[in-house]
Amino acid sequence: MRWSNLFIPTLRDAPADAEAASHALLVKGGFIRQLHAGHYSMLPLGWKVHQKVAAIVREEMNAIGGQEFLLPTMHPAGVWKQSGRWDTMGEIMFRLTDRRENDLALGITHEEIFATVATELSSYKELPQIWYQIQTKFRDEARPKSGLLRVREFHMKDSYSFDLDWDGLDEQFEAHRVAYERIFERLGLPAFAVEASSGAMGGNTSTEFMVPCPAGEDDVIRCPNCDYAANIEKATSQLDPVEDNMPPPEPERFPTPGIRTIAALEKAGAPADRQIKTMVMVADDEVVLALVRGDHQLNTQKFIDATSTIVLRPATAEETQANLGALPGSLGAVGVSDLRIIADEALRGRTHMTTGANDDDWHYRGVDIERDIAVTEWADLREVSAGEPCVKCGTALEMIRCVEAGHIFKLGTMYAEKFGVTVSDAEGKQRPVVMGSYGIGIGRNMATIAETYHDEHGLKWPVSVAPYEAVVTILKLDEPTTAAAEELYRGLQARGVDVLLDDRDARAGVKFADAELIGIPYRLTVGPRSLADGEVELTVRANGDGKRIAVDVAVDTVADAVTAER
């Protein structure tokens, strides 16, 4: 391809709202343009990168026996109501009504739709199956930002496995895990697997693949000594053993005028780890109490997972006072019997605790959790912090900001049971199939690569996904220089290199800056001076190294380097 014929609208400046490096560089480099919040047009360069990422994903899915489908993106509400997710998806689902007043949804994911297709499976002899697609998804993000990292319309590879039993699912889950590792290796991404919450997807086990990135929105807890790693929504750590003495016969009520915070109560003589933090939450319209230790934070996703809540929010001041009779700062669960109380495991067995007395400016001390509070459920609710001991080996944990590059789930039989996806086993008995679900965002990974590979001059794409693998830059458009450049261009094409010929009538500095901005891995610069010596200049974008090489070996040098890195 010739640069003079291409649409590559590079910009001098990034958008004012571009916080992430990938957002700024993909716009400046002419890869994408925003239509409106969370929706981007892929321009020719961007679509080339997008398609190369998709091709790698497709190749690795095919390698484990995946069969490609293409399913509709607009779904009837009925299938989502049948699974129960019409309500659980909440406001993130785009919903609309057609002219016949039928409720419809734009697909967030396709478990339901693939399950309806899978009803045509009839025998265990047809299993296992791996079905996948690369299709548009829609999610009504409240705050789309960071370019392609957080959007409302995107392409995702979603695959689904169907097995007769859990052993089969375990095999498919492992096959996908290995395939994902190969995908990320080929994309050049330093992704690592972490334990994760399944959230609205359902199922009982999920693994995320995370890439360290300052622009990410996920905090990952990782042990530097062993293989433990988990999303903050799932992470846990070792707790100090409980060695509390017997408390007084009953809690002692004492005045705390003006004290409204954990820190203020600590100054008044109650250490934070001896306090009970009481939060009033509304879980699916039910007022509930969440209890954690005073020095711990509640992780709301853990609370949602533990209670199977669909919609969670903090109670208003009016709701709090109506149910407990006090305002925040004086709240507690002692003596509460008409509300559901979920307590964090770190509180189990604790005595000599301090908590609000549900009377403004009063607290209790000498509280025995199990004696004085009618805990309904115990669960892991607390958020782990960096420095806490690893649950496996005791080493101090570290926290890393990451981008989620992929997510795999063990769904089990939930969808099969709801949609009647059954097969006959060897004895002729009907059994629900066991499903897995596996996702990778194509545009998100494109952006994550851009986050990982760039410098102050622009992008530095790995060869595997670069819009062009090499560029031949003509410094002077005279006949000898142009003829030599054309010969190199044709030679690289013959060797299978995806090559761009920069034949524009522009200054050398402009051409060099544009090549660096869009991140082409190899540049051959052809000018009259070097040609007079029988040489051209080879520049490697990854490290900035430049050197002169003989014209007659230039094609082989670049082609061999490109082939080695694909």
Residue 486 in domain: yes
Domain shared by 129 and 181, yes or no: yes
Give the E-state strand segments of 390-520 in sequence order. Answer: 398-412, 422-424, 430-432, 434-441, 454-455, 458-459, 470-474, 499-502
The residue written with tokens 């002419």 in the block is: 30
Query: What's the confidence (pLDDT) of residue 249?
Result: 85
**Residue among 460, 490, 496, 458 at smallest CA distance from 472:** 490
Domain shared by 361 and 488, yes or no: no
Give the DSSP H/E element, type plus range, for residue 369.
helix 369-372
Q: What domain count does the chain have?
A: 3
Domain shared by 60 and 197, yes or no: yes
> Rounded to whole angstroms, how far apart are CA atoms 114 and 84?
16
Residue 391 in domain: no
What is the CATH classification number for the domain harbouring 278? 3.90.960.10
Q: DSSP letter string over 155-212?
A: EEEEEEEEESSHHHHHHHHHHHHHHHHHHHHHHT---EEEE---GGG-SSEEEEEEEE
Q: Which tokens is 368 given?
A: 């025995």
Domain shared by 436 and 479, yes or no: no
Domain shared by 500 and 418, yes or no: no
Residue 246 in domain: no
The pTM for the full model equals 0.91
Q: Is 37:145 a contact under the CB 8 Å cutoff?
A: no
Domain shared by 429 and 286, yes or no: no
> Rounded to whole angstroms, how far apart are CA atoms 78 and 309?
22
Residue 242 in domain: no
Query: What's the confidence (pLDDT) of residue 240?
Result: 82
Q: Which tokens is 397 given?
A: 């944990």
> Rounded to whole angstroms, how far apart are CA atoms 44 and 61?
25
Residue 138 in domain: yes
Residues 6+ apart with CB under 8 A from 96: 103, 104, 105, 106
**φ/ψ of residue 338, rounded to 5:** -110, 10
Domain shared by 150 and 109, yes or no: yes
Residue 7's SS3 state is: coil
Q: Is 438:444 a contact under the CB 8 Å cutoff?
A: no
Domain shared by 421 and 478, yes or no: no
Domain shared by 482 and 411, yes or no: no
Residue 4 in domain: no
* Structural domain containing residue 474: 468-565
Domain shared by 167 and 68, yes or no: yes
Instruction: Tell me the per-residue pLDDT of 535-548, one tens digit each, with 9 for 90 and over.
Output: 999 999 999 999 99
**How many CB atoms sit inside 10 A of residue 252's CB?**
13
Domain shared by 96 and 31, yes or no: yes
> Rounded to whole angstroms, how far apart are CA atoms 240 and 280?
27
Domain shared by 315 and 423, yes or no: no
pLDDT along the chain (566 residues), means of 10: 95 90 97 96 98 98 98 97 91 95 96 97 97 97 93 97 97 97 97 85 79 94 95 92 80 94 94 96 95 96 91 93 93 95 95 95 95 96 96 96 96 95 96 97 98 97 98 96 97 97 96 97 97 96 95 97 94
